[in-house]
Structure 1
Amino acid sequence: MTPPKPHGTLTVCITGGAGQISYSLLPLIASGEVFGHEQPIELRLLDIKPALEALNGVVMELHDCSFPLLRGIVATDDPMVAFRHADVAVLAGSFPRRPGMERRELLAKNVNIFKAHGHALDQVASKNVKIVVVGNPSNTNALVLSHFAPSIPKGNITALTRLDHNRTVSQVALRTGVSVNDVDGVAIWGNHSATQYPDMTRATAKGELAMPMLGGRKVVAEEIIPCIQKRGAAVLKARGFSSAMSAANAIGDHLRSWLMGDSKIVSMAVASDGSYHVKAGVYFSFPVRCVGGGEYEIVQGIELGEFSRKYVSATTEELFAEREEALSLL
């Protein structure tokens, strides 16, 4: 595969640079697992001032790994420094939801963060920068970012639903007794939240329709879909920390598919354009085809039956409600 920037160094910025997701993601990027083993990398790590000491420890470890592709590291609490000439930006940093916090309060905290990031990216990043928003609520944070970065094409801004996609692939594989490589046809629709729709109606396992092997629609609706929708909460309860390793892996998959191309249909939250009756104005997860070079297309022509439509309607309704709340805070 051709590296994203074959005649230069790829500048990759990661926010929340001292966080757990970044800690798992950085070795994947610096080792060449994401952008290829011929692509030199410069890392820009952004975090808040109280985290700078921990961030410096991360920098020490990156140096100690002696990654051959790593050409430089900048650690900072200044978005204007972090995003300067960025070719790729992974926005993993956000304000976490705390006990008793209302959704509007969470949105208000994150609107301010992504407003500042949007302004900085708009001013100093590469105009062809590719952005994946990870920090939750990621779909609506992507919308806010886009609003404040008007010179960056909406198609260059995405939100992460590849983790949900990977979870769905894994559940199908586990329950049908095949390798994840033998699973195809799953998709994530809508919001990266408990209303997301992990669609297995067209999933195949070794070329055979998976739905009968999964126990039919009743089992999928009552057991498997809730398992995927609530997986993050289950991981948090089990280990006392949110999903970091699997999130980092999914970010790597998302970026590799988007920039390098992918033979399989994958899931990404992208700017809605009226496809599947989802009006423009939100970042919505669709099944997409990544053709490489940072280009994707929403897969068209999928028949959404009654079973699927109720899920897609619910997650669409939630996203537009979030949109109105977020816009009222701008």
Structure 2
Amino acid sequence: MLFIILLLLDITPMLPVLDGVVMELQDCALPLLRDIIPTDKEEVAFKDLDAAILVGSMPRKDGMERKDLLKANVAIFKSQGAALEKYAKKTVKVLVVGNPANTNCLIAAKSAPSIPKENFSCLTRLDHNRARSQVAMRCAVPATHVRNVIIWGNHSSTQYPDVHHCLVNMSGSELACFDAVKDDAWLKGDFIATVQQRGAAVIKARKLSSAMSAAKAICDHMRDIWTGTADGEFISMGVYSSGNSYGVPDDLIYSFPVQIKDKTWKIVEGLAINSFSQTKMDATAAELIEERDTAVAFLGV
């Protein structure tokens, strides 16, 4: 029987707060949750892990340049990657959530050389869910009636939410997204901007970053790794690029459409890419190359 033991790592001053999180989790009476272990010790938190969700990162502060943000996060994810290398199972599945998630994920992977790079991914499922929801609301259907949206590239404002391969179930018939929405200008304009800027809009409205929707996306991401994707459906994940798919350079963590079986992801190949999409995919790749080169210089490799 599958069950879950949660190991929760935080810095020492936050342990009293972590105790409150433990109490809330206990009070949820979750059926698969067997035990919860709060700790400030990496050797405890990373020991024999089957799955690691790396949430904590240095947020950008007023007056902080992007290179300073990357430098601070390189130190965090170099340390966490080294802890995975030392303590975790080599089969561990690692999901990086802390931003800038793609580049933080790459640094963690480079710092754990004996764990396959294919075991590392970053969260773009939140953007994927946002895109599905925007299309669903526009078509007045449940989000479950929208499948195969794609988030290409970086979990940042350069990401490209692509619906050229998306299908919408309306009144029992599946239509191509452009045929269902019937508003090409919206799909190529406001839709893309809304998904790209949704995180900032949430912060502006509630004065805090996404919490519930991010947690749901993490659950979706990890569930699909463990149970696989449905036939004919693909989802978005930031995964390691070997330079063989859609012209994306190698040695990047880039969000692709993937299908998952037996805990192994595979990029969905052969999708037609028009010039509109290619331009946006190239732009987000260029940002990731710049981030990677800056971060790797701080890493010293």
Q: TM-score range by the shorter chain?
A: over 0.9
Q: Distance in 2 between matches of 1:64 and 1:278?
A: 45
SS in 2 for 1:57: helix
Structure 2: state its 5+ residue gaps: none
1:84 aligned onto 2:53: no
SS in 2 for 1:276: coil
Match of 2:154 in 1: 191
- Contact kept? 1:41, 1:70, Cα under 8 Å: yes
Match of 1:149 in 2: 112
Q: Deviations over 1:51-108 (max 9, x none)?
A: 1110011122333344443222211112221010110001111111112211111101
SS in 1 for 2:36: strand
Match of 1:252 in 2: 219
1:52 aligned onto 2:52: no
Query: Aligned-pair distance for 1:203?
Result: 1.5
Query: Aligned-pair distance for 1:295?
Result: 0.6
Match of 1:314 in 2: 283
Counterpart among 220, 223, 232 of residue 199 in structure 2:
232
Query: Aligned-pair distance for 1:212?
Result: 3.8
Q: Distance in 1 between matches of 2:149 and 2:20?
A: 39
Q: Deviations over 1:174-216 (max 9, x none)?
A: 1011221211221010000000000011222111112144344
1:324 aligned onto 2:287: no
Q: Distance in 1 between matches of 2:148 and 2:31?
A: 37
* Letter aligned with residue 37 of structure 2: V
Match of 1:97 in 2: 60
- Contact kept? 1:176, 1:210, Cα under 8 Å: no
Distance of aligned partners of 1:67 and 1:257 in 2 relative to their CA distance in 1, 3 Å threshold = closer
1:63 aligned onto 2:26: yes
Q: Distance in 1 between matches of 2:222 and 2:229?
A: 10
SS in 2 for 1:329: helix
Query: Aligned-pair distance for 1:265?
Result: 0.5
Match of 2:242 in 1: 273
1:285 aligned onto 2:255: yes
* Letter aligned with residue 241 of structure 1: L
1:209 aligned onto 2:176: yes
- Contact kept? 1:132, 1:159, Cα under 8 Å: yes
SS in 1 for 2:52: strand
Q: Deviations over 1:190-244 (max 9, x none)?
A: 0000000000112221111121443443222221000000000001101111001
TM-score (norm 2): 0.94
Q: Deviations over 1:94-132 (max 9, x none)?
A: 111112211111101110000000111001101100010
How many residues are matched?
A: 292
1:178 aligned onto 2:141: yes
* Letter aligned with residue 24 of structure 2: E
Q: Deviations over 1:32-66 (max 9, x none)?
A: xxxxxx42111100111221110011122333344
Q: Distance in 1 between matches of 2:31 and 2:194?
A: 40
* Letter aligned with residue 44 of structure 1: L
SS in 2 for 1:257: helix
After alignment, is 169-178 or 136-145 more displaced?
A: 169-178
* Letter aligned with residue 112 of structure 1: A
Q: Distance in 2 between matches of 1:299 and 1:68?
A: 34
Q: Report sequence identity in percent.
A: 49
Match of 1:128 in 2: 91
Q: Distance in 1 between matches of 2:149 and 2:258?
A: 11
Q: Distance in 2 between matches of 1:79 and 1:180?
A: 39
Q: Distance in 2 between matches of 1:308 and 1:217?
A: 14
